[in-house]
Structures are given as C-alpha cells and as structure tokens.
Amino acid sequence: MFSKVYKPLILGIALISLTTAGRAQTGEPVEKNKANTTYKPAFAGQTRIGSVKTKTLYTVTVINSELKGPWGIHALPDGRLLISGKPGTMQILTTAGKVVKTITGFPEVQFLSQGGLLDVNIDPDFTKNRMIYWTYAQPGAAGATLAVAKGKLSADETKLENVKVIWEAYPRYKGAGQFGSRLVFDKQGNIFVSSGDRQANDIRVKAQDLSATTGKMIHITKDGKPVYNNPFIGKDDAKPEIYAFGFRNPDGLAVNPVTGGLWEAEFGPRGGDEINLVKAGGNYGWPFVTYGIEYSGEKVYDGIQQKPGTVQPVYYWDPVISPGCMMFYTGNIAEWKNNLFVGGLSGQHIIRLIIKNNKVVGEERLLADKNERWRCITTGTDGAIYAGTDNGKLYRIAKQ
C-alpha cells in the first residue's frame, strides 16, 4: 500500500477573479494541447474553462491492486464497497481494500471488448430487501445487447437469488462496442439507464430513432416498466421507456444531490467528449450534431455543432479525455462538496468540475501522475473517494 499527501501548488500565473457572483477564482485552462477542430463553442465557458486548485490537503492510497476489470462501484450502507468485475462476478471489499465476499449467480455475459458485467447499484431500500441491480452485455444469436437485471443478495453474501432480467435494449447487434450502461436511481426510486449507440456506422444513426433504444437515456421502474410520465408514451413508433435521445456512449451518469438533475458524461469520437444535463424529451444530437470528428479526421456527417431542436452540452472537451465514470462528491472535503468528478480513461486523470447554476465555472485535473485509466468512482460513507482503474487498482482519496 502506498499513500501520498497532496499539497496545494502555487500557480505560476496571475489568478483571474470572475465577475459572476459565487464563481471560483480561476487560472489558465488545464488543457494545453491543440484541439482536433476549429469548431467554436455555442457559449462562453462551454469548453476550456479556467483552472482551479484544491487547497485542502488529501492523501491518495492504493488499497487493492488485484481487481479483475472493475467497472462499477457502490458503497453499501455499512460502508463496505460493492464492485462489479467485467468478466462476470462482483466482490465486496472493506474500505481497507480487503476482499471479503465474492458474489456469483449472474447470467452469462458477453465478455468481449467493451462488453461484460458492467455497472452496479443497490435498491434505495437495500437494508430491507437486499436487492442489487446491474447492467451487462447480454449475448444472443442475433448479437449482444445491453440488459438490466436484478437479484437478491443471499444472507451469506455469496450469491444472487431470484435473478430476473428486467430490460433489454433494442435492437441487438453483432458487435462489442459502446454499450453505455450506467444505472442510477431517481428520487422516486425509479431507474435511469444510459444506453450506448453500439459504435458502428450502420447502427449509430439509431440514436435518433425513437423505435430503437440504443443511444438513449432510459427511464424504467424497478420492474423494468416505462415510468408513467415518460415523454414519448403514446407516440407512434416510439419506445415508451425512452427519456431522452441522441447519445453516443454515455459511460457517466449521476443525479445532482442538491437539484435532483440528471447529468451525463459521454465519449465523443475524435474530440467532443461531453457533459450534459439531461432533460425529458431532449435530443442531444448524436450522430448529426457533435463537436468531434471521425477517427479518420473527416467530419461526422455534415460537421454540425449547433442545430435547432437539439440540446447543447453544458461542457465539452477537445481533445478528448474519454469520460469513463462520473459522480457528484458528497464527502467531507468542504471545497469539493457537490463538485462533479469525472474519471478520464485516455486522459488518465480525474477531472473535478465546479458547477454553478448548471454551468461549469472551474476545472482541475487530479492524480494525473498515476497514469491510470479511471473506470469507476464513488463517495464512501466515510467521506473518502474510492476509484477503480483498468489496471485493477482501487484508490482511496481522503482528507488528511
């Protein structure tokens, strides 16, 4: 185990005080590299906002380095950590990083490329019903699809009982890319699920097709039924479980603990990673509206960034950071309270965003020296941050 105290750094530039009330003092933007495009933002502060620096001393400790494909993480009511493993199992760990239980009993997963056992969450009434919910790449003769399942954790915490698949994305596709797949509960106890566009050119356009559930934000009950007031209920050729559409690969999803708003982070192609505030019925543009370009360097379709009838991202990055996970911080470091933390995969750092009035007003890059791909993140009941990486490490980030 290795722990290091992080001290605030003195910026070698003059601090600029923003005039908007309540905004943090900011320095030069953290991104120094050239953008992939010459596209212009729709409004000031939509990209490359000024930088901020944490003043509080904190420690960073690797508490486990042998996890197998950690993808989702959730703090149990007793403080222990429930972590999903992409190959097809889950484990319960102490906050010291010790594995105390391995859970089995999951349906078969397509463990290939971006597929596998993915996100995990627990029922808001977990202390009473012991129900666990998860997303996974479900194999099938017609191809894989994103599925949501639930099961009751056994008394000895080693297996799931009465497992039931409650929702499957449509259509299936013979590919292993971009399932999306985060799962969060709203304040009413219903479920939001992010569904990816499945990546390939011949299916990604269905992100705009309301008869398909790829590239969508899904809103369902604990039994997998459409929530009664979903925006497309009763509309011809529209799936009633759709809440919003036009997403690429939404790998970050979180509910703002103060406002209740639903926030999403998604991969752009080459440039154009986004943070979105998701509204019922909203069209978020993909694949016809984007701040990114194709991996080849060509424009994505007509190269449009702004279009009437589509919702602009609150924030975007170019070049990309590849947002692999996201949370609102609810721990005991006061200056981080309710900040949005985003785990970067290709960016290999954790991004801290200060949000004021649903706008990003400051950005910080944390733990860039670790050279890790950050895949899952949560605030523990002890106030610390717990974050897992593609290298199988679990980090604890805590106030000194």
Average pLDDT estimate for 259-266: 97
C-alpha–C-alpha distance, residues 68 and 85, integer Å: 6
Reported as a pLDDT band with limits 50, 70 and 90, residue 24 is low
Q: Over 50: is that where the pLDDT of 13 sits?
A: no
Which pLDDT value is given to residue 308?
Answer: 97
Average pLDDT estimate for 308-312: 98
Do residues 333 and 350 lie in contact, with contact meaning Cβ atoms separated by under 8 Å? no
Reported as a pLDDT band with limits 50, 70 and 90, residue 3 is low
Q: Over 90: is that where the pLDDT of 76 sits?
A: yes
Do residues 180 and 204 lie in contact, with contact meaning Cβ atoms separated by under 8 Å? no
- Count of helix runs (H) and strand runs (E) in the chain: 2, 27
Q: Over 60: is that where the pLDDT of 264 sits?
A: yes
Domain count of the chain? 1
Average pLDDT estimate for 311-318: 98
Q: Over 50: is that where the pLDDT of 21 sits?
A: no
C-alpha–C-alpha distance, residues 361 and 51, integer Å: 9
CATH number at residue 69: 2.120.10.30
Q: Over 60: is that where the pLDDT of 12 sits?
A: no
Q: Over 60: is that where the pLDDT of 15 sits?
A: no
3-state secondary structure of 27: strand
Mean per-residue pLDDT of the chain: 94
* Nearest by Cα to 243 from 267, 259, 220: 220
Average pLDDT estimate for 390-396: 98
Q: What is the pTM of this model?
A: 0.93
What's the pLDDT tens digit per position in 189-243? 999 999 999 999 999 999 999 999 999 999 999 999 999 999 999 999 999 999 9
Strands laid side by side in the 81-85 sheet: 70-75, 81-85, 89-93, 99-103
What's the pLDDT tens digit per position in 170-180? 999 999 999 99
Average pLDDT estimate for 145-165: 98
Q: Which domain holds residue 366?
A: 3-399
Reported as a pLDDT band with limits 50, 70 and 90, residue 26 is confident
Which pLDDT value is given to residue 234?
Answer: 96
